[in-house]
Amino acid sequence: MITLAFIKELPTMIKTSIIPPKAWAFPNRNVGRPFHVKSRGVKMELSVTQPDDWHLHLRDGDLLRAVVSHSANHFGRAIVMPNLKPPVTTTTAAMAYRESILKALPENSDFTPLMTLYLTDKTSPEEIKLAKRSGVVFAVKLYPAGATTNSQDGVTDLFGKCLPVIEEMVEQNMPLLVHGEVTDPAVDIFDREKVFIDTVLKPLIKKLPQLKVVMEHITTLDAVKFIESCSEGSIAATVTPQHLLLNRNSLFEGGLQPHNYCLPVLKREIHRQAIVSAVTSGSKQFFLGTDSAPHERSRKECPCGCAGIYNAPVALAVYAKVFEEAGALDKLEAFMSFNGPDFYGLPRNTSKIKLIKNQWKVPESYTFACGDIIPMFAGQTLEWLPSANV
């Protein structure tokens, strides 16, 4: 194994090993001028601190058992979303859900689920105290009622009924995670994130400037500007693979593409580019959250398909591709493995994983007893292959 000369200049450890010849290049943003690496006869490997997934849907029952290893194989921890049926609204339910996740894990896995509570109009401040004391609940999730999958029991009156709860969250230093879209059917679906920022998020943080907020799965230039205008330690955003790599054309390419449908829906190219610039800038306010959201095939390929993209098997490969194409592989490790735990006040992982530049084909589907699940980029070739712990 040879260590490349520029390794000193990159916070991310880059190594090479033998493979068929392939030359490739990327600009080194650290020194401010492009340079080229010819890796004749070698292949690229990144050895990075094990990443965490700060936004994940693991579901429950058979579906949980089917999908959990795809996340547990690569991520150290994950913030597990509470939008089950029925939703995880209490600490007791979160603890039980955590047990079922641990049971579903492959043997010897040390994956740690970080639990969340589903905020409703009826959540009490006392529940927040219980959640904090439990040591297993790390955040509370705001779904505006009707905004997305299993959000029917979500919030209808944030500034009325929920304010005492959110004040308690400030006391307990418990982050509020938001699905940031308004639900007013009169607002165009492509504008719902921007309107949410203007009418909900801005007034909320004005009222409670100490509240820690993660704007989940951001999709717009407006969200990037908003996050960057806020203070680093209190407002941050997760970013998904799909919102970094795809724009809204992907929903209609050659016909309707249900497996590219998620909420918030994919946006115009200018928005995608703004998100790529934000994550590759090195800002600590953006971190990895896949929003991997499995739905059984027949629930996606039907007259009224569910929102959600199953990206757990491809997420790391897609993030690496995006950072490589932006010439910012040196910023990848902080995005994947440092910014999230730093924001949540948790220790960074100490173990490592490898990302190897090696083509692999994404399976067409995963078949389980509970049905088929179609992954993002099904049947396509990706360039970066994550390998187990090193």
Ligand X SMILES: NC(=O)N[C@@H](CC(=O)O)C(=O)O
Residues that bind ligand X (CB under 6 A): 57, 83, 148-149, 179, 262-263, 291, 293, 307-308
DSSP 8-class letter at 97: H
Contact 169, 137 (CB under 8 A): no
Separation between Cα atoms, residue 306 and residue 387, nearest integer Å: 31
Q: Which does 238 bind (CB under 5 to 8 A by kind): ligand X, Zn ion, none?
A: none
Residues 6+ apart with CB under 8 A from 93: none
Q: Cβ of residue 357: shortest distance to ligand X, in angstroms?
A: 29
The amino acid at 246: L
The amino acid at 201: L
Residues 285 to 324 in contact with Zn ion, rule: CB under 5 A: 291
Q: Which of 52, 53, 222, 291 is catalytic?
A: 291
Separation between Cα atoms, residue 166 and residue 259, nearest integer Å: 35
259 included as an active-site residue: no
Sort 9 into a burial class: Cβ within 10 Å, 0-12 / 13-18 / 19+. middle
Q: Cβ of residue 358: shortest distance to ligand X, in angstroms?
A: 29
Give 57 or 271: the residue with its C-beta nearer to ligand X: 57
Size, binding site for Zn ion by CB under 5 A = 3
Q: Which does 307 bind (CB under 5 to 8 A by kind): Zn ion, ligand X, none?
A: ligand X
62 included as an active-site residue: no
Binding Zn ion (rule: CB under 5 A), the pick from 16, 28, 89, 148 is 148
Query: Does 240 help bind Zn ion (rule: CB under 5 A)?
Result: no
Give 95 or 307: the residue with its C-beta nearer to ligand X: 307
Separation between Cα atoms, residue 221 and residue 270, nearest integer Å: 7
Q: Which of 57, 212, 321, 357 is catalytic?
A: 57
Q: Cβ of residue 103: shortest distance to ligand X, in angstroms?
A: 21
Tokens of 10: 């990159």
Q: Cβ of residue 214: shortest distance to ligand X, in angstroms?
A: 12
Contact 175, 139 (CB under 8 A): yes
Beta bridge partners of 361: 381
Instruction: Give the Cα-Cα-Cα angle 382, 384, 390 (nearest 5 degrees).
Output: 145
Query: Does 192 help bind Zn ion (rule: CB under 5 A)?
Result: no
Binding Zn ion (rule: CB under 5 A), the pick from 179, 212, 297, 321 is 179
Q: Which of 52, 53, 55, 357 is catalytic?
A: 55
Give 258 or 308: the residue with its C-beta nearer to ligand X: 308
- Position closest to Zn ion via CB: 179
36 included as an active-site residue: no
Give DSSP secondary structure letters for 283-304: -TTEEE---B----HHHHSSTT
217 included as an active-site residue: yes
> Crossing angle of helices 163-172/125-134, nearest 10°?
30
Torsion of CA 88, 142, 312, 319, to 10 degrees: -160
Give 51 or 87: the residue with its C-beta nearer to ligand X: 87
Active-site positions? 55, 57, 141, 179, 217, 291
Contact footprint for Zn ion (CB under 5 A):
148, 179, 291
